Chain A
Amino acid sequence: MIKVKQIEKSFGSQKVLSGVNFEVKDKEIFGLLGPSGAGKTTLINILTNQISPDAGSADVLVTAFETGLMLDEDGLYMRLSCLENLNLFARIYGINLSKSMEALKNVGLESSAKKAVSSLSKGMRQRLALARAILHAPKVLFLDEPTSGLDPRTAQGIHELIEGLRDKGATIFLTTHNMDEAVKLCDKVALLHKGQIVESGEPLEICERHNSMRTVPDLGAVFIKMTGVDL
């Protein structure tokens, strides 16, 4: 569904990505892990055609309309209500406005439908941004740190939602620096460090390979072992 080959990207003299390769299969949850500044957001921006790579290719095998997007900045209209924010995009996509309420229900915001975004908490805004991303039932979802800064219960809700979308046939590409999240949620992960993928595969399999099962699988320890850096 997504094929990334030898992607390179520099900003000025700073090389952010130097030869990134990976593949995301149909209907899987793929997690890109890496510390802050590793280039995760840069990679999402390349995959969604917002910036172009210096070298290499990124192919996403669906149309722009079939992708959903949740970026590190929510881009919501502060003065408008949740519902009005979603209705704007429902109109742009030409889908029934009832989908907006449906999406709000999916993220547990139906009771805040009429509230202005400016009055929402961070977690609620994040859920609204997710609702906007899934509004038109996209085939591929790009989620940039969908649960960062959320309390565990809200994060759990979002995990369930993401799994539900996968089970309905969506392919999900997400970034995170939360190792537990990666182990629990992702079918596949890739560890990004110094502009390259240093390890990839199924989370448990990676942990086994590095004898890092201890009592619980510890992907964080693998990361430290591979890079010397903690997340």
Chain B
Amino acid sequence: MRSTVAIFIKQLQDTFKNMAVLVQFFVFPGMAFIMTRFVGVEMEGMSDEFFISMFASMFIGMTLISSPAVAIAEDRDNNSLRFLMMSGVKSHQYLMGISGVYMLCALLIGGMFTAMMPELLLSQRLIILASLMLGGVASTLLGAIIGLLSKNGQAATSIGTAVGMFLGFGPMIGMFNERVRRIFSIFYTQNFIFDDFDNITRRLIVILVNIAVLMIVFMFAYGKKRD
């Protein structure tokens, strides 16, 4: 526990000093806000949720995959992971500490997104946040898998970005294309709940299945890297 907290604090400090990551954290909610306020209002028949759901999916699907992937690969790269292991930190404590930071980010940034939809009931707000948080779990797992398996920080960045593009942009394209929408309905990034409150159970189940699958892949990757 002590080690997990130590890693969590380190990762939090590091994130706040990493402009490349920090910018991403604010760009997506910022874009959502601007688009909703200044573009959305001028477009006929466009709901407030359109841009918010789009950018929230992109944030969870992109930033929350690439950030942990790069963080883990960087730690391996510059040998700091070696010193942690030598001082008795277990790999699962390390991964929990790192993931904790990104879960916190999912919560905070998710909260910013829901705050942009003022007409929501508190219960609806919590449901949205819950779906985003679960998505954060899935993304962080995926990011950790990429971080564990890639050769170095650069590889992690490019793989993380590619996977993030796929999962983050897919749902947006799906808004205009029925076929893409159907394909992406099996991925968690298209199943966040923003206004579809009639299908809460189905959507949450899809996300949970995603998490379960990723968990299995993660265990595999983790077992392989256990040196």
State how many angstroms separate the Cβ of B173 from the closest Cβ of chain A.
Answer: 35
B79 contacts chain A at the CB level, 8 A cutoff: yes
B3 contacts chain A at the CB level, 8 A cutoff: yes
The bracket for how many chain A residues form the interface is 20 to 34
A38 contacts chain B at the CB level, 8 A cutoff: no
Measured CB to CB, the nearest residue on chain B to A118 is B17
**Interface residues in B1-34 (C-beta closer than 8 Å to A):** 2-3, 5-7, 9-10, 13-14, 17-18
**Interface residues in B76-110 (C-beta closer than 8 Å to A):** 78-84, 86-89
**Interface residues in A127-178 (C-beta closer than 8 Å to B):** 132
Contacts of A71 in B (CB 8 A): 79, 82-83
**Interface residues in A62-98 (C-beta closer than 8 Å to B):** 64-65, 69, 71, 73-80, 84, 87-89, 91-94
Q: A71-B82, A79-B18 are in contact. Are A88 and B88 (CB under 8 A)?
A: no
Most B CB within 10 A of own CB, among A65, A77, A80, A88 = A88
Q: By the criterion CB–CB under 8 Å, are B86 and A64 in contact?
A: yes
Q: By the criterion CB–CB under 8 Å, are A91 and B5 in contact?
A: yes
Q: A71-B79, A75-B79, A75-B82 are in contact. Are A94 and B2 (CB under 8 A)?
A: yes
Q: Tell me the complex Cα distance, A73–B77, Å.
A: 11
- Which one of B9, B78, B81, B88 contacts A78 once the chains associate, using CB atoms below 8 Å? B78
State how many angstroms separate the Cβ of B84 from the closest Cβ of chain A.
Answer: 7
Q: A91-B6, A92-B6, A94-B2 are in contact. Are A79 and B83 (CB under 8 A)?
A: no
Q: Tell me the complex Cα distance, A71–B18, Å.
A: 26
A48 contacts chain B at the CB level, 8 A cutoff: yes
- Which one of A65, A69, A80, A87 contacts B17 once the chains associate, using CB atoms below 8 Å? A80
Contacts of A91 in B (CB 8 A): 2-3, 5-6, 9
Q: By the criterion CB–CB under 8 Å, are A77 and B5 in contact?
A: no
State how many angstroms separate the Cβ of B212 from the closest Cβ of chain A.
Answer: 32
Q: Tell me the complex Cα distance, A75–B78, Å.
A: 5
Q: By the criterion CB–CB under 8 Å, are A88 and B18 in contact?
A: no
A14 contacts chain B at the CB level, 8 A cutoff: no
Q: Tell me the complex Cα distance, A91–B84, Å.
A: 11
Q: By the criterion CB–CB under 8 Å, are B87 and A89 in contact?
A: yes
Q: By the criterion CB–CB under 8 Å, are B9 and A92 in contact?
A: no
Q: Tell me the complex Cα distance, A87–B18, Å.
A: 19
Q: Tell me the complex Cα distance, A87–B9, Å.
A: 10
Contacts of B13 in A (CB 8 A): 80, 84
A-B contact pairs, 25 of them (CB 8 A): A64-B86, A64-B87, A64-B88, A65-B88, A71-B83, A73-B79, A75-B78, A75-B79, A75-B81, A75-B83, A76-B80, A77-B80, A78-B78, A79-B14, A79-B17, A80-B14, A84-B13, A88-B7, A89-B6, A89-B87, A91-B2, A91-B5, A92-B89, A94-B2, A132-B83
Extra inter-chain contacts (15) besides given A73-B79, A75-B80, CB under 8 Å:
A50-B82, A50-B86, A71-B82, A75-B79, A75-B81, A75-B82, A76-B78, A77-B10, A80-B13, A80-B14, A84-B13, A88-B6, A91-B2, A92-B87, A132-B83
Q: Which residues on A are within 8 Å of B, measured CB to CB?
A: 48, 50, 64-65, 69, 71, 73-80, 84, 87-89, 91-94, 116, 132
